[in-house]
Amino acid sequence: MMRAIATDDLRKTYPVVERPWWKPGKPLRAAPAVDGLSLRIPAGQVTGLLGLNGAGKTTTIRMLATLLRPTSGRATVDDLDLVKDAREVRRRINMIAGGERMVYTRLTGRENLWYFGQLYDVPKAQLKARIAELLALVGLEHAADQRVERYSKGMRQRLSIARGLINRPAYLLLDEPTLGLDAPIARDLRAVVADLARDGVGVLLTSHYLAEVEQLCADIYVIAAGRLVAQGTPAELTTMAERQHTVEVSLAAAVDDVDHAVETLAMRTGAQITTGVDDDLRPRYTLRHSADLAGELATTIVTAGGAIARLEVTPPTLEDAIIALADAARQPSAVAS
């Protein structure tokens, strides 16, 4: 048996009816939200699913959670078919979405977990201990018997995480789990997710916080317009997009020979050059190139008689890469199939 969530050529098209229901006829327009996606989310690892707004991340997660039915293609969870074996799949998965809406506010934290434990048929003998364990995991023991309406946003989200773990899911689908949370709480949640993966849980994570994705994900899928545009580790994706290093240098004082030498360097390497002054009105040169030209630029300036007051190198980031890949996917000819 393959211990993973796997999708093969998964597609989802929402029927969009743009006329009143009493006027018969087929939907006028169909909007493809996911278009032939093949993914593999193995157990014991955090896998990222990235893309700009409207890329199809949430639709994908909701299909894997059995809340949406694929229009075509196939998805399995540990070889169980997502559609045919939906009930058994639901026992093995859980989903946590960002925001604090996914709990009952007039129940206490403990009661919420008890309620969902009943829905998931967690054995009675284990439920009490499981609830205590989860409350401790998310740091809510002290507020366990308070109504959730008195919880802060962060506490609600932590309770939501605990709810998502009540059935000891083999796979956890996280849709923007740290959305709107303060940095320390988000950091704690990331630690929980990392621990879960170490304990063998397969996690699929979507997030707009790319530092979070870089920190947690061993493998990342980038999608745009519902289609896969890239896959790899964070480092692989960063280089894949061929984004530019930015080198910015300020001189202690203007030197004519430096101007000429830097322009010659830019021309020779094909770097994009911008000249100007910095906040302290010192001459400034900015070079953009796929390679890191910091060393070469520094040597050129010093050789030409200049004195460097400040040098800053900005390497390409995963965020740059995602934007670049998504932009490339918008061009029809560049979209990966």
Q: Under the rule (CB under 8 A), what is the footprint of other proteins?
A: 14-15, 59, 62, 65-69, 87-88, 90-91, 94-95, 99, 101-107, 111, 114-116, 118-121, 163
102 and 173 Cβ atoms separated by less than 8 Å: no
Burial 67-80 (b: 16+ CB within 10 A, else e): ebebbebebbbbeb
Minimal distance, residue 16 CB to other proteins, in Å = 9
Q: Considering beta carbons, is residue 98 or 283 the nearer one to other proteins?
A: 98
Minimal distance, residue 25 CB to other proteins, in Å = 16
Minimal distance, residue 101 CB to other proteins, in Å = 3
Q: Considering beta carbons, is residue 107 or 336 the nearer one to other proteins?
A: 107
- Rg of the chain over Cα atoms, rounded to whole angstroms, equals 25
Minimal distance, residue 189 CB to other proteins, in Å = 19
Minimal distance, residue 120 CB to other proteins, in Å = 6
- Which token pair is 8? 């093969």
Burial 185-214 (b: 16+ CB within 10 A, else e): bbebbbebbeebbeeebbbbbbbbbbebbb
For residue 117, the SS3 value is helix
Q: Considering beta carbons, is residue 92 or 245 the nearer one to other proteins?
A: 92
Q: Considering beta carbons, is residue 61 or 266 the nearer one to other proteins?
A: 61
Distance CA 96, CA 328 (A): 31
For tokens 């014991």, the residue is: 44
Q: Considering beta carbons, is residue 133 or 149 the nearer one to other proteins?
A: 149
Q: Any residues with CB less than 8 A from the CB of 126 and at least 6 apart, and which?
A: none
